[in-house]
Amino acid sequence: MKRLFILFVLLTSFLFAKENFSQMSTQELIEIIGFVSEKDKASFLKELELRVPKMNINEKAQYEKRLQEIPESKPIEDEE
């Protein structure tokens, strides 16, 4: 339940943040892997590529686990 709440908060913050991924924390980026719309995917991947070399051991473990958890992409479309 706690994890769902955290995911909901992160996804909600993502909707308000639009495609400015540079202001998101590394943890937030990790949590939204698989939920980024196609139009924002390029900027998301660019920011993620900048963050991966700077991740600590715990963040890298969460990142790798998250990549394996996502069976398919579930993009969130903007309501614009």
Cα dihedral 50/66/29/33 (nearest 10): 100
Return the higher-pLDDT residue of 17 and 78.
78
Using a cut of 0.85, tell me whether the model's pTM lies above it. no
Cα dihedral 19/59/51/35 (nearest 10): -30
pLDDT in tens, 16-30: 555 688 889 999 999
Q: How much is the CA Rg of the chain, to the nearest whole Å? A: 12
Q: State the pLDDT at residue 12.
A: 67
The stretch 36-56 carries a mean pLDDT of 91
